[in-house]
Structure 1
Amino acid sequence: MITIGQLAGYVGVSTKTIRVYHDKGLLPEPARDASGYRRYGAKDAIDLIKIRTLAEAGVPLARIRELRVATDDDYQQALREIDDELTTRIRSMRAVQKRLRRLAAGQSVPLPTDVVAHLEHLADQGFSHRWVELQRDLWILVFATHPDRALDLFHDQARTLSDPALRQLFLDYDHAHDLVPDDPRFDDLARRIIEATRERYGSDEPPELDVTSEIPTLIQGTVNASSPAWRRLDTLIRAQLKM
């Protein structure tokens, strides 16, 4: 027979935890010896290990108390269910761990890897740091609000930027950020953008210019708020679309 302290040390819990298990009816309280001390046997150690293992697996104490009196079949079925739940939680925690490691590495952008790679490549293509950050923020908004359409729209833009002529239009758009709103170059840039997009999409309205969609409203609202020059360019593009 062993004392409560010896039992606690052997199983790896505190004596206070054992007393809580006694109070909750999880572990029967043994009789005291002549000196008034509780004395525990091997069965108590085995029962305590079972309780501790279930508790560490996240099983509520009330549920553990039920399992203590369950039939063997019910007990085994419960253990299988708990194991399945643990597998799900472990998978989730591993995903959290990956995000944590990306955060530690300075890669905290919550976007698919191909989108992140695309954003990193923009600077190599001549786009400003301001443009790259804006594109990152826009894609975060699009993926958060329209996850079902975001990837298709991203691939469409990536194909657009693979065309040197169309990429130059985006570069010109980027570099127009600091122009005054009445700069005469806006008329020509707006015309070139409309011609290029209509040539690429034909008579169909391109997804990024479909004024009835929520996505371009979200995107263009963010873009326009970034620069009076971009806001002016958007006004000219919309006016020419109506012609």
Structure 2
Amino acid sequence: MRIGELAALLGVSTRTVRHYHQQGILPEPPRRANGYREYGVRDAIALARVRRLVELGLSLEEARDVIADDRSRALSEILAELDADLARQEHEIRLRRARLAEVLEGARTGTLGPDETASPELVALLRAVDLPASKAAAWDRDLLVLMDSMGTDADREQAFGMFGSLAADPEVTARGHEFYRRLDELTDASPDDPRVAPLAAMLADYSVEHLLAHTGLHDWEPGMMEPFLDGLAPAQAEVVRQAMRLIARR
């Protein structure tokens, strides 16, 4: 497979793969007679290992040593180790999703309290922010709950302070309600509906003007929201995807 196919297989960019080559972490295959580098199964496994090691908090230098050791190991042994790690991740994700489902239900029913399931800041924010009764607004609220349940104290303090100040501005609140209304209108629309692109541009402008200005996060990956789009209709999810691509270009 070519470098683009390898990158797509592991959900990274070709720039990331080339960076790992430059750092000496991922061996770079020689060019063939056709001028292209061809990657195989072991290359894909090595890239998967690098990504996982980085997720676990290892530095690139430490990951380089592990990948170097892998070259002397049997492929079947490495695959078995990856499979065991995926099984552990699957178990952990199931536990976290079950816990999150409890928190989300509490948020929906208004019974969420300032105990170990949610911070007092989230409870106060949900009471203060007048979100409309819509599926799009409920999706936004679920993201807030997810942020609260999995973020650090510093993340929560910054995020809830930001959202609280935005909610206190009537003009900003009106724009948010208008966005939710237009997004709900796309519930039964197709992803190529002509209303998608203008609404995506509106969301991108709003995010750059308010969210990014407060957080300073300008290195957004276009696919970072993909895991959270299952709860949206196809056209609604396309709005978020296009907005993320627009933000990434700014």
Structure (1 or 2) with the larger CA radius of gyration: 1
More helix by share: 1
Same fold (TM over 0.5): no
Q: What TM-score does the superposition give when structure 1 sets the normalisation length?
A: 0.43
